Structure 1
Amino acid sequence: MTAAPRPSSVANPHIVDLFAGPGGLDVAATWLGVPVVGIEWDANACATRRAAGLETQQGDVRDFGPADFPEANVLAGGPPCQTYTVAGTGAGRMALERVLRLVKSMSVGERVDHRLARFDDERTGLVLEPLQWALHAHGSGDPYEAIVLEQVPAVLPVWVAMGEVLEGLGYSVATGVLRTEEYGVPQTRRRAILLARYGDEVQLPLPTHRPYRKGIARDLGSVDLKPWNTMGDALARTRGYGFSVVSNYGTGGDPKARGRRTSNEPAFTVTGKVSRNRVVDTLGTEVARFTAAEAGRLQTFPIDFPWSGGDIAQQIGNAIPPRLGAQILASALGMIHAIDDDFLGDVMERRWSGSMRSVVPSRD
């Protein structure tokens, strides 16, 4: 079988990150040495970004466009997921057909701003903002060289539809749902990913770790893949003992049957309710619940990442795990051969210094 062509690297990449949150993708970019500016409206997330030194434009993504970030040649974004999640209102999932029709309208040059405003929950339409940016940049004669988008699995049909539009503009596109534990994240979480490269081949990153299967030993599976990382691995510096986590959510369709995982397993998906999960030791004695630093660590943020502002658990739960972010960014930028498990493990263990740049004041 002929090997897949190796994508060339994006020359001098500079990322504009829409809906940047507290900085999951921006931390990943910093690890890779790639400049990034994030757009974020939430004051709490901006407080964290300010403390972390991540370059930020505070404001509504809809108030900006490609011309406001002329140095950016890479577009990234993780639009709000609340209306598409199973745990959320479901408004986005119910409106999926409308969203897909709007993608088609946008592909033929129709203005859809007035229709985006008609969603019962305005967050539903925000999933289309990255396509608006990509179309505007292409129409101006300065297309983004790479595009990276992530969301909950329910949004995959939207990414596929957007991918078809981008292919018509000259992009190579790869879409799919990735399992975070297969990329070394000590947590089971699934994310719908779109990667696009203008004029070059692109592919999703290949798994580096075995998939988690309850009841299956972590040392069983493909010899070509590493065992999944565990909560015990991630929290070895703060919890030097075995423990179990009792989920805040029900399992098996029974809201009273709380799921349970041991420290020898990956964490449940870290959500904004992570602070409600009970933690017990091996004797069944309840111990301290996860701190913000520990919850962030399960997301693969550095242990000393400076979480700030309010609603910190929600900030942590909303973020893309930086370790996964680094691998999808590296794939999109043609840098995947430059990073490996040792590299990611090393940067995660370093003290966080960030880019040491201040948040730009809000736009009036």
Structure 2
Amino acid sequence: MSSPGKQVHHLDGIRILDLFAGPGGLDVAAHFLGFKSIGIEWDRHACETRYKAGLPTIHADVSVMRETRFDEIPESVDVLAGGPPCQSFSVAGNGAGRRALDKVKEYIHRLVDGEDEAEIDEDLHDLREDPRTALVLEPLRWLLKAIETEGRDPYKVIVLEQVPAVLPLWEVYAKLLRGGEGRLNGVKYEAEYWELKTEQFGVPQTRTRAVLVARLLGQGAVEPLEPTHLPFDLHRHKRNAAQADMLPTDSAIPGTKKKRWISMAEALEAASKPQGSPVNVSRLRTGDETKFFVVSNYGSGGDPKNRGRRRSSEPAFTVTGKISRNKVYKSIAEYEAEKSDRFTIPESGVLQTFPHNFPWSGNDQAQQVGNAVPPRLGMHVLSRALRGNTPSDEELAAATTWPAVPRTTTDELRVIGCGDQSQCPPDSHRVTHSRQKSAP
């Protein structure tokens, strides 16, 4: 994975292994909490973003790493984290994962019970409607691999994240982790799982995630996360739509310690203030006020033509890989004249709570943004899992700006990623003419 010399220090002291790491939502969260991580990611575009951001990365397939290159994972890793691809479980997907939930539960039990993995892999072809569905089993297989590999210790902490439809699978995971039976070889965890709304943790978008946190028995109980903000009323149009604008933004709501959710305008305005920020919302201002509304790319209520709307004074819709298709208007006049704007990639990243200057790279950047774990939510989850507390105000404030990364670091991380490229996924390093100058 790495060659001797100057780049080895990038792997020193790494605690967190991030499966399906994408551009680095959990890794960014870990960084601002003071933990080092390494991610496994097969998409070369996401890897480029990670290299530019200075995030240690193995450019590989998660299953291949587990099967043939497990010994390359730093021995200092004691936290297993990841969000398996969610498209097949997502409401926006074709639903193959939801239809396969019972089948996947069966596979989870078969893995723990010790059935032959080759036979299980053969049977997994039953999920060929969307093969990504089977990837939700990978975190369990990585745990079992660690338990059964001589010289390796079980992970002390496990953190998993997915769309809400996967919550029943996290329930099965939690019960098995608590029991320690079969191939778990008596290794037991304190394990809990929840449905979390991102806007309740300061993310300026509505997005619900299913999260599992497990801690090795003896490491302490897993306490629920404490929301810092109020939930957004998705049914506000049935009530007084003006009430949201009347809620205070910078202080606790009377009768609670929680603040109001963060709006798109607030997040984008704050991100545009640092000198040199790539976020510039001047085009969305009317006078001194940032004011616009967004028309979703998706229909609502089962009607594809019924596009939802959000005002700038409200949180964004769930940021997906199609966020660049959402249309932004400053006024009804622009809407009627079909003169729309779009969120830029840095703006989309800010709505995911990535730092304003995060170095998005490669192609498919909108997809990278949409696939990522919101770093601010990640900070809350990892802080609870690893420290038993919530992130400090200072840590959250620091998480708005990404540190500069020297070109030498990016080059060194590419070597760690796959060295001479022979161990990268097939065809993953085909370089177009426009990218040849930046290639290693």
Q: TM over 0.5, yes or no?
A: yes
Looking at structure 2, the residues matched to 150 and 132 of structure 1 have their Cα atoms a distance apart, in angstroms, of 16
Whole-angstrom CA distance in 2 between matches of 1:353 and 1:152: 32
Q: Which residue of 2 aligns with 1:328?
A: 381
Partner of 2:212: 194
Q: Secondary structure at the match of 1:207?
A: coil
Equivalent-residue separation in structure 1 for 2:146 and 2:255 (angstroms): 43
Q: Please give the residue correspondences for 1:57-136 in structure 2 after superposition, counting only pairs within 5 Å.
A: 57-65=58-66, 66-69=70-73, 70-110=75-115, 111=117, 112-120=120-128, 121-136=130-145
Question: Matches of 1:158 and 1:354 in 2, distance apart?
Answer: 39
| Cα distance in 2 between the residues matched to 1:335 and 1:203 | 7
C-alpha separation between the residues in 2 aligned to 1:118 and 1:100? Answer: 13
Question: What are the Cα deviations for residues 41-100 of structure 1, in whole angstroms up to 9, with x where unaligned?
Answer: 011111111111111000100012353312210000100011111111211111111100
Letter in 2 for 1:108: D
Separation (CA, whole Å) in 2 of partners of 1:201 and 1:346: 29
1:204 aligns with 2:224: yes
Per mean C-alpha deviation after superposition, the further-off stretch among 84-93 and 145-154 is 84-93
Residues 33, 395 of structure 2: 8 Å contact kept? no
* Offset, 1:148: 0.4
Aligned to 2:321, what secondary structure does the other structure show? coil
List alignment gaps of at least 5 residues for structure 2.
1-12, 181-187, 273-279, 425-440
> SS in structure 2 opposite 1:64?
helix
* Residues 1:160 and 1:282: Cα distance change in structure 2 (over 3 Å): same
Asked if the contact 2:32/2:395 (under 8 Å) is kept, the reply is no
**In 1, Cα distance between equivalents of 2:29 and 2:224:** 16
Q: Do the aligned residues in 1 keep the contact of 2:14 with 2:76 (CA within 8 Å)? A: no
Specify the SS of the correspondent of 1:235: helix
The amino acid across from 1:308 in the alignment is S
What is the rounded CA distance, in whole Å, between the counterparts of 2:127 and 2:402 in structure 1? Answer: 43
Query: 1:335 offset after TM fit, Å?
Result: 4.9
Q: How does 1:8-27 map to 2 (within 5 A)?
A: 14-27=15-28
2:260 maps to 1:227 = yes
1:340 shift after superposition? 2.7
Tell which deviates more after alignment, 350-359 or 172-181: 350-359
CA–CA distance in structure 2, aligned partners of residues 195 and 62 of structure 1: 22
User: Percent identity among equivalent residues?
Assistant: 49
- Tell me the distance in 2 between the aligned counterparts of 1:90 and 1:253: 15
In structure 2, how many angstroms separate the alpha carbons of the residues matched to 1:331 and 1:314?
28
Pairing of 1:256-271 with structure 2 (within 5 A): 256-271=305-320
Amino acid at match of 2:260: P
Q: Is the 8 A contact 2:32 2:398 kept in 1?
A: no
Structure 1 counterpart SS, 2:127: coil
Consecutive aligned runs of 4 or more in structure 1 exceeding 3 Å deviation: 218-222, 351-357
Question: In 1, Cα distance between the equivalents of 2:169 and 2:294?
Answer: 34
Decide whether the 8 Å contact of 1:177 with 1:193 is kept in 2: yes
Per the TM alignment, residue 283 of structure 1 is displaced from its structure 2 partner at its CA by: 5.1
Name the residue aligned to 2:399. 347
Q: What is the letter of the counterpart of residue 173 of structure 2?
A: M
The residue that corresponds to 1:301 in the other structure is 354
Name the CA shift for 1:46/1:277 in 2 (closer, same or farther; >3 Å).
same
2:7 aligned residue? none
> Residue in 1 aligned with 2:157?
146
TM-score of the superposition, structure 2-length normalised? 0.76
Range 289-298 or range 111-120, more displaced: 111-120
Shift in CA distance, 251/60, structure 1 to aligned 2, threshold 3 Å: same
What is the CA–CA distance in structure 1 between the aligned matches of 2:405 and 2:382, rounded to whole Å? 17
State the TM-score, normalizing by the size of structure 1: 0.91
What CA deviation, in whole Å up to 9, does each residue of 1:149-169 have, x standing for no partner?
000001111111011111122
Question: Which structure 1 segments of 5+ residues have no match?
Answer: 1-11
Deviations 1:1-52 (A, max 9, x none): xxxxxxxxxxx77001100001111111111111100000011111111111
Q: Which of the numbers 273, 276, 279 marks the counterpart of 2:328?
A: 279
Query: Cα gap change, 1:275/1:83 in structure 2, threshold over 3 Å: closer, same or farther?
Result: same
Partner of 2:368: 315
Query: Quick check: which one's helix share is greater?
Result: 2
8 Å contact kept, 1:30–1:354: no
TM-aligned CA deviation for residue 105 of structure 1: 1.0
Q: What amino acid does structure 2 have at the position aligned with 1:113?
A: D
SS at match of 2:200: helix
- In structure 1, distance between residues paired with 2:255 and 2:374: 24
Counterpart for residue 3 of structure 1: none
Provide the C-alpha distance between the structure 2 equivalents of 1:342 and 1:305, rounded to a whole number of angstroms: 19
Is 1:292–1:313's contact at 8 Å kept on the other side of the alignment? Answer: yes
- Name the structure 2 match of 1:156: 167
Partner SS for 2:328: strand
- The structure-2 alpha-carbon separation of the partners of 1:175 and 1:158, relative to structure 1 and needing over 3 Å to count, comes to same
- The structure-2 alpha-carbon separation of the partners of 1:224 and 1:284, relative to structure 1 and needing over 3 Å to count, comes to farther
* Structure 1 range deviating more: 201-210 or 218-227: 218-227
**Shift in alpha-carbon separation, 1:163–1:225, aligned structure 2, 3 A:** same
How far the C-alpha of 1:224 sits from its partner, in A, is: 1.2
Matched-pair contact (CA < 8 Å) for 2:204–2:351: yes
Higher Cα radius of gyration: 2
